[in-house]
Amino acid sequence: MASLDSHVLKKLVSLSFSTLFIMITMVNTESQRQNFQSIISFGDSIADTGNLLGLSDRNNLSLNGFPPYGETFFHHPTGRSSDGRLIIDFIAEFLGLPYVTPYFGSKNGNFQKGVNFAVGSATALEASFLEERGYHCSHNISLGVQVKVFKESLPNLCGLPSEIGGNDYNGPFFERRLINEVKELVPLVISTISSAITELISMGGKTFLVPGEFPIGCSVAYLTLYQTSNIEEYDPFGCLKWLNKFGEYHDEQLQAELKRLRKLNPHVNIIYADYYNALLRLNQEPTKYGFINKPLSACCGVGEPYNFNFSTCCGSFGVDSCNDPSMYVAWDGIHMTEAAYKFIADGLLKGPYTSPPFNWTCLTSKIKNKNSLDTQSSLMNS
């Protein structure tokens, strides 16, 4: 399959998911207690609760501003790239906090309990850097820009936690660049992540959750783009082995850098989140977790064999979603369903997909009374 034309690529990247990382920094209100009062989020569409939609021209809204996005929980589009809640929403619920308000989507909002700077399709590396190397960027709200806006807003946003994400690998892969060419970006991306963590530590960050790569070889979009008749390229579960190996390579480099940062900052809690295996288990054993036995098929979309088409995406006129998104892992071919995000969030908060694991022994009674995600899950069917 040839590389995508610029129009289709722009549409696809506007929906693109985090192939890089999400980072959450939690600032404790008391030195020895994890009494989190609010969340600040930086990132991309995995964490975006409405910024891309808020930044969109009202005559050219992002697709996540149209049904069926948001149908499961909010019952209307909110700018989240899923049928309902995202990982960041489940984390907020677990901590007894309100959902994180999008900064760009509601500049007059109340940010005392948290604010979200994450914008769909954001990259860690600067847009100008990527454009100079021939990689398409749909906007310039990079990690650096988000952190800059955060710093400028600090007088009104004191002592809050955060989340960061990017799409630096999506563009090159969607343009079918050679794997070795994309690998050259990995140390640059890791360095940018490390610099952001270091800067946020200097600003008071005490607890960081830094997820690794998703198993993009199981992504519906990538499976469609790189579809091949060579069965040797697929693992027994139908995922592309070489793309998943790339994710493993990124994660190895990221974990090595986090280990270095821990040594330099022994009083800061830097936690690696194993997004790779937290999602991979759902692709490999879907029925064990209550999903249908077609984890590599999107709930919302059109086209064979993965119910996905690059030119007619979810949110486009005439594209319907499945009857029960909770039975599907993949939502629109790019992002996951609320049900899948719940399992990922649950695996991070309660284990075993973080290293070192979270220590919730010092949580206040207010948060303990929330009784983790199990209490909240009943809302999914309300």
As annotated, the active-site residues are 45, 332, 335
**Distance, CA of 233 to CA of 235 (rounded, Å):** 7
CB atoms inside a 10 Å sphere around CB 162: 33
User: Considering only CA atoms, which of 183, 188, 238, 232 is closest in space to residue 215?
Assistant: 238
DSSP state of 335: S
Residue 131: half-sphere exposure toward Cβ, Cα within 13 Å: 8
The H or E element containing residue 286 is none
Is residue 104 within 8 Å of residue 117, measured between CB atoms? Answer: yes
**Distance, CA of 80 to CA of 66 (rounded, Å):** 10
Beta strands in the chain (DSSP E): 24-26, 39-41, 114-116, 207-211, 269-273, 354-355
Is residue 221 within 8 Å of residue 36, measured between CB atoms? Answer: no
Structure tokens at 314: 């979810």
Q: 298 phi and psi, to 5 degrees?
A: -75, 145
Is residue 68 within 8 Å of residue 321, measured between CB atoms? Answer: yes
**Distance, CA of 258 to CA of 210 (rounded, Å):** 9
Per-residue buried b or exposed e for 42-63, using 16+ beta carbons within 10 Å of the residue's own CB: bbbbbbbbbbbbbbbeeeeebb
Structure tokens at 123: 């990259």
Is residue 190 within 8 Å of residue 17, measured between CB atoms? Answer: no
**Distance, CA of 165 to CA of 17 (rounded, Å):** 9
Angle between helices 275-284 and 241-264 (to 10 degrees): 150
